[in-house]
Chain A
Amino acid sequence: MMRYVLPLLVLLGAGAAFWSVLSPHELGLGAAVFPDEVTRGGEAVDRLFDEIAALMGFLLLLTAGLIAWVVVRGAGRRDGLGSERTGSAALEFIWTALPAVALALLLVRQLEVRKVLADAPSAEGLGAPFVVGVDAHQFEWRFRYPGRDGAVWTADDVVTVNELALPAGRPVELVMRSRDVIHSFFAPALRTKRDIVPGRDTRLAFVIDPEDLPLGFTSGQEAQLGLECAELCGWGHGAMVGRIRVLGADALTRWLTARSDERLATD
């Protein structure tokens, strides 16, 4: 009986894996799907993910199919010995060379996407980057926007807690510092994360693409994205969450000026 049960199990396992990896965008179990991406280059990242998933799916079904086939065949013959073949240089060459070609193509694709991502914030016509300081500590995010002096990490910064306001359509540059342990800035919709290591500045640059945002955004509403700390930073690690408000570039400038005036008034 195991002659058929075992191949079936192998095929089922590979089939389930195939299903779960090939369509995480649409077919995921329940809500377990990628959140929509909103950055320039995010599409390329998702496409690369799908290409790798397609390669994986193909190899999964190929190998599981082969295993199932050889087991059904081999387990049906009892007694005696198997074939006396001990190897084949030609086969070894084929199953080294073909995957090598596939992996080389994959490497090329990865380099392309890396370039897309690296170039996105410095594309022409996007203007100067909007710089925000990220001040991470157990277990809270503080965001520092340039005050009158136009620079972050200075005394007149405008500060918000656990809420990051960012412009759409303009490059963003985060200058991140940690006061205590390693944290990691992770916004799933931005398709990126970057560790914040104490003792040094780490930087993260991206552009939120207005066209990727929900339709409401164009009529003046703001969009909201989730923000998590992705590096274990102590007991409260999982509670170190925040949200990102995405505004139009003008709305953001108005908001920032208002906050800056407010702050001067209270000083």
Chain B
Amino acid sequence: MGPLARLAHRMTDDTRRVRVVPAHAPAGSFRRYILSTDHKTIGIQFLITGTFMALLGALLALIMRVQIAWPGAEVPIVGATLFPGTGGSVPPDVYAALFTLHGTIMTFFVIIPLLTGAFGNYLIPLMIGAHDMAFPKLNALSYWLLWPGIVFIVLAFGAPGGGPGAGWTAYAPLSTIGAYAPGSLDGQTYWLLAVTFAGLSSLVGSINYLVTVVKMRAPGLTLGKLPLTVWGLCIAAVIQLMALPVLTSGAAMMAMDRVFQAGFFSPSQGSGEPLLWQHLFWFYSHPAVYVMVLPAMGLVSDIMSVHARKAIFGYGAMVMSMLTIAGLGFIVWGHHMFTSGMDPRLELGFLSSTVLIALPSGVKVFNWIATLWGGRIRLTAAMQFAIGFVALFIIGGLSGLWLASTPNDAYLHDTYTVVAHFHYIVVGGSLLAMFGGIYHWFPKMVGRRLSESLGTIHFVGTFVLLNCVFLPMHQLGFAGMIRRTYDPYTLPGMEALQPLNAFVTWSAMLLGLWQLWFLVNVVLALVAGPASGRDPWRARSLEWRAPSPPGPGNFDAPVAAGAGPYAYGLGLDDDLRAARPQDDVARTGGQA
């Protein structure tokens, strides 16, 4: 047996799989809810922490939008308290800190921890029929490593000398030489520490996810029966394991530049090369986009299959396309640097690989549509968000075609068209998928159902307002409005863009307020939501066989994979219902 075959054998051999003995519930509520090693508690901790960080990141965005639409105007409500020195309007150094921290918080402390930390932790053991993660203490460490990062990123606002102002991309030497960004002296160093801790948290989590999925699947749950959510999370974990060390090394080098004048990236320190940072940064941060999207694709696939009462269409193609996206994702980073003056031959390579990545993305879209085709669709809130994800992911993906085309990117690079493009992917994509995921798995997490009517109101407003916020940004970019400017109207002719910017800002505020529907829905469900039973959606994957919410050790009876997570039809439906009549609480649920 060759090494590869041996590895494959180890990964698929039932007898080698590890069984974790169910733990007893820890006695004290402190051990139970705070210092827990239970994957479900840790998942919910990630969920709550990520949600609070999302509120912070959104607030920063709204303050920024006020300045963009009405430069120098007083920020309503919070302005007078936050910026007393300027009469309530955003000072320029704070503006730089706002967009830097908005990007950093949303990427490293919201989307990645929510998708991989919250959904990864909560769902992986349940979906593969395991009692917990392979390394429960490592899992708790992953969550608690996030906290030093949060402390540093929040402290960075008030760091001596001001917050970091070099953008979430932290291009050197703006980020390495204090004198170039007065006001961001220690803030930038705090930023580096925050990113490093967030990275360590993900790294530790990723190891755990992979070992858990390889070693702890339920009997019969072959890799070919793994739910796509688990596939997406595992592939994202592999990306993190391969790419994070590069970012962490880069951050260490940048810290040395800042503290010891080491001269890795700063020409004025002797030998520094600014483009080296860009290569290191994007070698991580482009694949990181797929860390933010692949698990979302997994969630959406599973939600669609369940609520269309139908197997996912083209399971093999779905898995292969995720693997292809992840692989290609490692050789496209240079497309962020088309205007940096790199060798045209390199440009050509990055141009081709970037165009190629559209193919597996297209395959996924068509397979999702084919999954809906011929389904018995229940338009639950979860399903609405999943379909909304596909619709907006298409728009975000297609605008990437312009950016991949070097002759057009020379114009569009660093304009608002780019801002529109990636917000369609991470907000229209990842965020909608996460809302869908919460509507879908909330009954499992707390044993109560969210209101479908409130969920529908939440979805419709969110979908409409999202487009009102991000669609016009394409146009702003066409007109030549660039990113990260304190006052966009300094260039002649740009004043004409003010009404459009004001429209975007009003829409963004409404979008923020509209999320209150979600909050109300969650609170109402926690207090008085109807009991969900084990399997409110009559799904097939293993997590629905556990009680809602699952106790310590997850399952009260041994589980086996059976026909797999997508076994709709094949006469199984009636058998299952007959076997578990008590689960059929919400047979017609969700016909909103």
Contacts and interface: CB of A to CB of B under 8 A. Distances in A.
A87 B373 CA distance: 11
Contacts of B275: 197
Interface stretch (A127-135, A153-161, A163-171, A178-186): A178-186
B411 A193 contact: yes
A17 interface: yes
B358 interface: yes
A235 B183 contact: yes
Contacts of B167: 232
A82 B374 contact: yes
Contact of B592 (A2, A55, A117, A226): A2
A81 B358 CA distance: 32
B464 A9 contact: yes
Which of A3, A70, A200, A232 has most chain B Cβ within 10 Å? A232
Contacts of A184: 339, 414
A81 B568 contact: yes
A153 B17 CA distance: 70
Contacts of A80: 309, 376
Given A71-B387, A197-B275, A197-B340, A16 B467 contact: yes
Contacts of A138: 180
Interface string B253-277: 0000000000000011000111100
Given A29-B475, A35-B480, A106-B355, A83 B496 contact: no
A238 interface: yes
A213 interface: no
Given A44-B407, A70-B372, A239-B490, A32 B479 contact: yes
Interface stretch (A61-69, A215-223, A245-253, A258-266): A61-69
Given A74-B376, A103-B359, A64 B391 contact: yes
Interface string A209-246: 00000000000000000101011111111110101000
Interface string B390-404: 111011001101100
B96 to A, nearest CB: 6
A113 interface: yes
A173 interface: no
B487 interface: yes
Given A30-B500, A194-B339, A233 B407 contact: no
B586 interface: no
Interface stretch (B145-153, B312-320, B550-558): B312-320
Contacts of A123: none
Given A31-B497, A197-B274, A232-B166, A17 B471 contact: yes
A44 B411 CA distance: 13
Contacts of A257: none
B486 A238 contact: yes
B372 A56 contact: no
A228 to B, nearest CB: 6
B332 to A, nearest CB: 14
A56 B359 contact: no
B488 interface: yes
Contacts of A60: 394-395, 398
A234 B359 contact: no
B314 A13 contact: no
Interface in A12-37: 13-14, 16-17, 20-21, 24, 28-35
A53 to B, nearest CB: 8
A59 B394 contact: yes
A14 B47 CA distance: 31
B493 A10 contact: no
A122 interface: no
- For this complex, into which size category does the number of interface residues on chain A fall? 35 or more
Contacts of A83: 310, 373-375, 569
Interface in B457-505: 460, 463-464, 467, 471-472, 474-476, 478-480, 482-488, 490-493, 496-497, 499-500
A110 B407 contact: yes
A110 B409 CA distance: 11
A182 B93 CA distance: 18
Contacts of A117: 407
Interface string B147-182: 000000000000000000111000101100100111
A236 to B, nearest CB: 7
B310 to A, nearest CB: 3
Q: Closest 6 interchain pairs by CB?
A: A238-B485, A82-B310, A31-B496, A199-B267, A83-B374, A32-B475
Given A67-B369, A82-B377, 17 more contacts: A6-B387, A35-B479, A56-B398, A71-B372, A71-B379, A82-B310, A83-B374, A86-B314, A117-B407, A191-B410, A192-B411, A193-B413, A226-B492, A231-B414, A232-B166, A235-B95, A241-B490
30 contacts: A9-B460, A9-B463, A9-B464, A24-B474, A31-B496, A52-B401, A60-B398, A63-B391, A67-B391, A70-B372, A75-B377, A75-B379, A81-B569, A82-B308, A82-B568, A83-B375, A85-B313, A86-B312, A88-B370, A103-B359, A113-B407, A118-B344, A180-B268, A181-B173, A182-B274, A184-B339, A203-B341, A226-B480, A234-B181, A238-B484
Interface of B: 92-93, 95-96, 165-167, 171, 173-174, 177, 180-183, 267-268, 272-275, 308-317, 339-341, 344, 351-352, 355-356, 358-359, 362-363, 365-367, 369-370, 372-379, 384, 387-388, 390-392, 394-395, 398-399, 401-402, 405-408, 410-411, 413-415, 456, 460, 463-464, 467, 471-472, 474-476, 478-480, 482-488, 490-493, 496-497, 499-500, 566, 568-570, 573, 588, 591-592
